Amino acid sequence: MEFLKNLIGSLLLEHEMVVVPTLGAFIAHYRASEQDTDGADSDTTFFPPAREVAFNQDVQEGDGLLVHAYMTLLDLDYPSAERMLYRGVAELQQSLSLNGMLEIPSVGLLMKDILGRVTLVADESGVCAPALFALPSVSMERIEQVAQARNIAEELRKTSVVSVVSADKDEEQGAAPIVIRMPRRWVDVAVSAAAAVLLFFLVSNPFSSRDDAGEAQVASVVAQHAATRVAEEQVPEGKFSIVLASKVTKENADWFVAQLTKEGYSDGRYSDTGSMPRVLYGRYQTEEEATAALNSLKGESKSFKHGWVIETE
């Protein structure tokens, strides 16, 4: 079976179609370079030219290409090569039926649903054709995004500084300022918390004769204020995700997500917000965090082997 899987990818480098008898046909076609942008505020990804592969389950009649390859590479006669080929195909179909998916190196991931339909989630980089240099995709930030990030950083630097002058220095020597840098929202939270504590002690005097209802009302006000501050300080949802498949129908994407969930990976989702429908996984605050997660997941499941990181809307 392993020999057959590797042979399919090798033959697609030089042939437009490779038919696996009783399974289906892998059909390769040229894909021109393209640009993909997920919204005006997202990174732009440039995809190099590549040979993309599709799968047609209806074409099952062998054309002799695989048998000829077996004869040439293994030095077999025609009957022996045909028997070995069909034995490999049977093992491949058995593995696909048991696991629901099967990886074809350098081609993509075959998936089989409960109705017996077989589809292909093609490798994002396409077939590694030497004539196309096997270049990877490249993501670039927009110029306005870079400028906006710099402006925000500069504003934070200006508005988030508190200066304290040391009191134990002689005035003639000149006071050396001690500068403490902190985000402005930390100061706002600290002031709000101090005000809430002060209000609590001013209103709820332990020596007063207030009844339980009054104390409960004060406690409720303090709790509501604290809950409001916590809600305001919640960490925003991550903007980076892992791409597992592109240009897929919603039906196939939902099935793929369901398979991920069965494997114990519950953060998969279908995204059709940009110009290209995708299967995404997870939400991460930074690109570094998403890349580290992807590297870890690649060692756990074949579903993440061809994944890559993208900034979503």
pLDDT of residue 248: 77
């002690």: which residue's tokens?
Answer: 201
If you average pLDDT over residues 135-139, what whole number do you get? 65
Q: What is the mean pLDDT of the chain?
A: 75
Lowest mean pLDDT among 3-7, 105-109, 289-293: 105-109
pLDDT of residue 284: 92
> Who has greater pLDDT, 217 or 82?
82
CA-CA distances (angstroms) from residue 234 to 40, 238, 286?
Answer: 25, 12, 16
Q: What is the pLDDT of residues 25-42, one digit of tens each?
A: 988 877 777 776 655 555
Query: Letter for the amino acid at 283?
Result: R
> Who has greater pLDDT, 136 or 237?
237
Q: Name every residue whose Cβ is closer than 8 Å to that of residue 229 and which is 6 or more positions away in sequence.
A: 189, 192, 193
pLDDT of residue 80: 92
> Who has greater pLDDT, 106 or 139?
106
CA-CA distances (angstroms) from residue 2 to 7, 48, 70, 81, 150?
Answer: 8, 29, 13, 15, 52
pLDDT of residue 42: 57
DSSP H/E element including 43: none
pLDDT of residue 120: 86
pLDDT of residue 100: 87
Homologous superfamily, domain 237-313: Sporulation related repeat (3.30.70.1070)
126 band by pLDDT with thresholds 50, 70 and 90: low
pLDDT of residue 84: 92
Say whether pLDDT at 186 is over 70. no
| Domain locations in the chain as residue ranges | 1-139, 160-232, 237-313
> CA nearest 101: which of 307, 313, 303, 261?
303
